[in-house]
Structure 1
Amino acid sequence: MSNVVTTEPDTAEVTVEVPAGAARQARGVITRTLAAWGLTHLTRAAVMVGHELVANALRHGMPPAALRLLRRDGAVLIEVGDASPALPQIAEIDNETSTSGRGMFIVSRLARSWGVRPLPTGKVVWAELVQ
């Protein structure tokens, strides 16, 4: 993962370049950014959501992938883009011991809303957390 780029006071972006350790590094970027914004009360939920979105992009998407955080009008948006047109879905969980397919389920429970923005070069999956 490359260095964080801040293009505006309320935006932080990072490119996810290497799968190994990228989700861990994304958690660090989210933690540091929310601390800088004075939003540490959102850290736990944001880290879980960001981790799941980055992990899904790395597991099911295509490079390059990017993480972007935006602070807007009482909310924090977490966006993860990748070059794959495949859209995420909430998997039905068959039993309590199943460990796969829980990512978007977790995102849907922690975020006020989430969605997908198809792009000509792939997609952006986003989740909104309330400040």
Structure 2
Amino acid sequence: MGQLRTSPPPPQATELERWDLRTAAELRALRASLRAALTRYGLAQGEELDEVPGRVVLVATELASNSLRHGIPPTIVTLLAADDCFILDVADHDLATVPELADTRPLDSGGRGLLLAQSVSLAVGWYATEDTKNIWASFPR
């Protein structure tokens, strides 16, 4: 199993929006709200986002699903912005486990959210606070 790099997102990142999830049923509303936020903040900068909202929503769904399935609720999804990127941060309250890349599991066994995040984002990392374990991914803004 591979290890993710351990580091928080850039310190200059500012929070744009935040969602607290307790059940998988809330993922649909998260996807819609996150897509709207990305479009709103992207359009505010006068830039065309192309496929970025779709990639962010896909990674958010994968990471939040894993967190809801394996972590301790609530799952906290935060959209941040730094100068040149959006940062998606997904946190749960399970401090006993370390995120690992599931590159050796059979394809039908799940657990590939981190590999997916690495393949469609600029960078992926994780860090822990006193209360949460956070996984983040960055995307072009």
TM-score range, shorter chain: 0.7 to 0.9
Equivalence for 2:126: 116
What is the count of residue pairs matched by the alignment? 121
The 1:100/1:33 distance shift into structure 2, 3 A limit, reads same
**Matched residues in 1 for 2:99 and 2:66: separation?**
8
Residue 90 (str. 1) matches residue 93 (str. 2): no
Q: Distance in 2 between matches of 1:34 and 1:92?
A: 30
Per-residue deviation, 1:122: 2.2
1:20 deviates by: 3.2
Q: 2:20 aligns with which of 3, 15, 20?
A: 15
Relative contact order (C-alpha < 8 Å, sep 6+): which is higher? 2
> How far off its partner does 1:49 sit?
0.9
Percentage of identical aligned residues: 24
Over aligned residues, Cα RMSD in angstroms? 1.9
Q: Name which of 69, 72, 86 aligns with 1:62.
A: 72
Q: For residue 106 of structure 1, give the secondary structure of its aligned residue in structure 2.
A: helix
Name which of structure 1's ranges 72-81 and 37-46 shifts more when overlaid on structure 2: 37-46
Question: How far off is 1:93 after superposition?
Answer: 4.3
Q: Which residue number in structure 2 is paired with residue 126 of structure 1?
A: 136
Please say if residues 24 and 65 of structure 2, whose CA atoms lie closer than 8 Å, have aligned partners that are also in contact: no
State yes or no: 1:32 paired with 2:36.
yes
Q: Which runs of 5+ in 2 are unaligned?
A: 1-13
CA contact (8 A) 1:10 1:72 kept: no
Q: How far apart are the structure 1 equivalents of 2:133 and 2:93?
A: 6
Q: Is the 8 A contact 2:15 2:78 kept in 1?
A: no
* Residue 51 in structure 1 maps to residue 56 in structure 2: no
Query: Structure 1: where are the runs of 5+ without partners?
Result: 1-8
- Could you list the structure 1 runs, at least 4 aligned residues long, displaced by more than 6 angstroms after superposition: none
- What is the identity, as a one-letter code, of the residue corresponding to 2:94? S
Q: Which amino acid aligns with 2:21?
A: V
